[in-house]
Amino acid sequence: MVQLHKKFTDNQVKELIEKYLRKEVGRRYLQEILGVGKTRFFALIKSYQENPSAFSIQYARRLKTRQISHDIEKNILKELAIEKRLIQDKNIPIGSYNYSYIKDRLAKQYRQYVSLPTIIDRARKHDFYLKKPKRTAHDREVLTNYTGELIQHDSSYHLWAPDAQEKWYLITSLDDFSRYILYAKLLRRETSWSHILALESMILKYGLPFSYYVDSHSIFRFVQGRDSFWRKHHILTDEADPQWKQVLSDCNVKIIYALSPQAKGKIERPYQWLQDRLVRTCVRETVTDINQAQRILNQEIHRYNYRQVHSTTQEVPYLRFQRAIQDKKSLFREFSIRPPYQSVKDIFCLRLNRMVDPYRRISLNNLLLKVNDVTPGDMVNLRIYPLNGRLSEVRFWCDGRLVEVQRIKNSDLNIAVF
CB contact at 8 A, 374 and 403: yes
Alpha helix segments (H runs only) across 161-316 = 192-206, 243-250, 265-284, 290-306
Q: Where are the alpha helices (DSSP H) in 89-127?
A: 99-110, 116-125
pLDDT single digits (tens) 182-231: 999 999 999 999 999 999 999 999 999 999 999 888 888 766 554 444 33
pLDDT digit string (tens) for 282-331?
A: 999 999 999 999 999 999 999 999 998 888 888 999 999 999 999 999 99
Nearest CA-CA partner of 211 in 221, 201, 203: 203
pLDDT of res. 254? 95
Please report, as a single letter, which amino acid is at residue 164.
Answer: A
pLDDT for res 253:
95
pLDDT of amino acid 209: 96
Angle value at C-alpha 75, between 69 and 80, nearest 5 degrees: 130
pLDDT for position 416: 67
**Residues of the chain whose pLDDT is less than 50?**
1, 138-142, 226-239
pLDDT of residue 260: 63
DSSP strands (E only) in 10-129 = none
Backbone angles phi, psi at 415, to 5 degrees: -65, -15
Indicate the residue type of 403: V
